[in-house]
Amino acid sequence: MIKEIFIVILLVAGCFFFLAGTLGLLRFPDLFSRLHALTNADNLGLGFIAAGIALYIASPWATVKIFFIWILTLLSSATSSYLIARFQREQEKSKNGKEE
């Protein structure tokens, strides 16, 4: 019973971060703040959901696998967000350079 309550809390927390991230992605004004919203969803949302599912399956091997899925997603999403941000910054720089 306690376990189920924990699972529900973790999953709801995960869904909340995904919702907040999606809202931010849709509503935030510029690319950098949108990326910020997106990484919240990816890191915390997926982390909570992964923790909830690991608790639900309750097998050590599955937990290890889910943990690796989370870590790899973190790694790839962080790098791709960084690359998108860098590309945007370089474009803005070259644009400003032209105007001056």
Compute φ and ψ for 30, nearest 5 degrees: -125, 170
State the minimum distance, in angstroms, from the CB of residue 98 to other proteins: 12
State the minimum distance, in angstroms, from the CB of residue 78 to other proteins: 8
Compute φ and ψ for 62, nearest 5 degrees: -60, -40
Q: Which is nearer to other proteins, 23 or 75 (CB)?
A: 75
* Binder among 19, 23, 82, 95 for other proteins (CB under 8 A): 82
Chain positions 24 to 43 lying near other proteins, rule: CB under 8 A, are none
Closest to 89 (Cα-Cα) out of 79, 99, 97, 78: 97
* Binder among 8, 23, 69, 72 for other proteins (CB under 8 A): 72
Is residue 10 within 8 Å of 55, Cβ to Cβ? yes
Is residue 50 within 8 Å of 69, Cβ to Cβ? yes
State the minimum distance, in angstroms, from the CB of residue 42 to other proteins: 15
Q: Is 57 in the site for other proteins (CB under 8 A)?
A: no
